[in-house]
A and B are shown apart, each in its own frame.
Chain A
Amino acid sequence: MAAKQNVLDVRGLSCPEPVVRTRQALAADPSGELVVITDNRVSVENIRRFVTGAGYSFTVANDNGDYLISVKAKQ
C-alpha cells in the first residue's frame, strides 16, 4: 500500500495562487506526498523554488500540456 497521496489541482489559477495553495497543502499534511497539477511553466518554477527551499524533493512530469508535480518530504 502506497503512502497517502494528496492531489492539488491549481490549473488556471494565476500567480502566486498555485504556490500559495501548495504551501497551504503542505502545511496541512507535511509528511504525505503531494501531487500538484498545473498548466503553466511559471507556476512550476515558482513551486520548484518554494518546495526545494522548504526542504522537499521535487519532480515534474508533462501530461498532455499539464504539469504533474510530485512533492515529497525528504527522508
Chain B
Amino acid sequence: MSRRLILFSGLLLGVLGVVLVKLGNPANMGVCVACFVRDIAGGLGLHRAAAVQYLRPEISGFVLGSFLAALYAGEFRARGGSSPMLRFFIGFAVMIGALVFLGCPLRMVLRLGAGDLNALVGLIGFIAGIGAGVLFLQRGFSLGRSQNLVKANGVAMPVLALAVLALVVTAPVFIFFSETGPGSLRAPFLISLGAGLVIGIVIQRSRLCQAGAFRDLFLLRDPHLFYGTLAILAGALVFNFVFGYFKLGFAGQPVAHTDGLWNFTGMLVVGLGATLLGGCPIRQTVMAGEGDADAGMAFFGLLAGAAFAHNFGMASSPAGATVAGKIGVILALAFLVTVGLAAELPKTVTMSKGGAKIGG
C-alpha cells in the first residue's frame, strides 16, 4: 500500500509538473517550490524583479491540501520550538542555492525529465550535499526537540495561504503581477489551485521528499522515498515526450544556465540545507500545513531568501550565475557547514532496567 502510494504520488507530481506547463506555467516549471515562493515574494513586493512576480496559487494549495489531509487523518498537530531561528536561516540559505541553480529539487527532476542535462549536474551536487548532511546526522547533528504548541501556531500557515489566495483574486493595487517573463506565464487560477491542493493532499499522505529519497538510501539503505523521485522522473519523461517538450542537451534549456560549477554548488547547498532541515522545500511546505511551525519558519526563510536573492542580485539568469550569487552560495555553504558541526546532540535518555543512562 505505502509503496503504491509513494509511486502514485511521484507519478502524479511528474505528470502535473508537465501538464501545468501545457496549461500556461513557465517551461520546465510546472511545479517548483523555490521559483513559486520567489514569485510570491515578488507578488508581495518584497523584491522588485518585474519578471518574477505572481502569488502562485499552487503554493497555497500545497499548504491547504496538506492541512485538510492532516485534519482528516488525525495528524494535524500544532508543534514547534526546534531551533526556529536556525531553521529560518537554513531555509534562507537553501533558497540562495536554489536560485543560483534555478530551481528546487522538484524542478531539478522535472528539468531532467525534459532532457535538461544541467539538471544532471545539479543532481550530482544535490546528492553530494545530502551525503554531507548524512555525515552530520551520523555524528549526532540535531536541531533539538519540538513540543506541542497552542493550536493557533499550526493554523497560522493555512490562514496565510487563504489570505494569499484572497489577494490573487481581489488583486489590490499593492500586489504585483508580472506582465512579461516567467511570472506572467500562469495556468488558470482554479487549475493551479486545484493542482496544488491535490499535490498537498497526496504528499501529506505519502511523505514524498526529494532530500529524504537520497538521505534514506545512504543512511538506512531504504529506497522507499527514492521510488517517489523515480516516479516523478518517469511521469515527467513520458508527458514531456507526449507534448513534444523533451529536448536533450545543455544549451538553450528554458529558465536554466549552463554554468556547471554553480549548478553543482547551488544544489550542493540545497541538498545539505534540506538534509539539516529534515526535508526538501516541498516537504517543508506540506509539513507547515500539518501544523509544524518549525517547517513554517523554514518556509519563511525560503521567502526571505528569495527576496534577498533578487534584491542583492544573487539569483542566476539564463546568462549564468552572478558574482553576488557565487558569493552568496559560498556564504550559505559556510553557514550550513557551521550549523552542521555546531548543532549539538540532545540528551536522549536510554533507560535500562535498574537505572538510566544519559546520552546516545
Contacts and interface: CB of A to CB of B under 8 A. Distances in A.
B353 A12 contact: no
Given A21-B360, A23-B220, A16 B352 contact: no
B12 to A, nearest CB: 20
Given A6-B351, A14-B143, A24 B220 contact: no
Contacts of B216: 16, 46
Contacts of A53: 220-222
A40 B74 CA distance: 11
B75 to A, nearest CB: 6
B147 interface: yes
Contact of B215 (A10, A16, A50): A16
Given A6-B351, A9-B348, A40-B77, A17 B142 contact: yes
A50 B221 CA distance: 9
Given A12-B147, A28-B360, A6 B352 contact: yes
Contacts of B144: 12
Nearest to A17: B142
A16 B348 contact: no
A13 interface: yes
A20 B219 contact: yes
B349 interface: yes
A61 interface: no
A16 to B, nearest CB: 6
Given A14-B294, A15-B279, A16-B220, A4 B348 contact: no
A19 interface: yes
Interface residues of B, number: 33
A25 interface: yes
Given A17-B137, A20-B138, A25-B360, A7 B278 contact: no
Nearest to A48: B2
A7 B360 contact: no
B247 interface: no
Contacts of B348: 8-10, 13, 21
B82 to A, nearest CB: 6
A23 B222 CA distance: 13
A14 B360 contact: no
Interface string B211-223: 0100110011110
Contact of A25 (B138, B294, B350): B350
A71 to B, nearest CB: 13
Interface in B279-300: 279, 294
Interface of A: 2, 4-17, 19-21, 23-25, 28, 40-42, 45-46, 49-50, 53
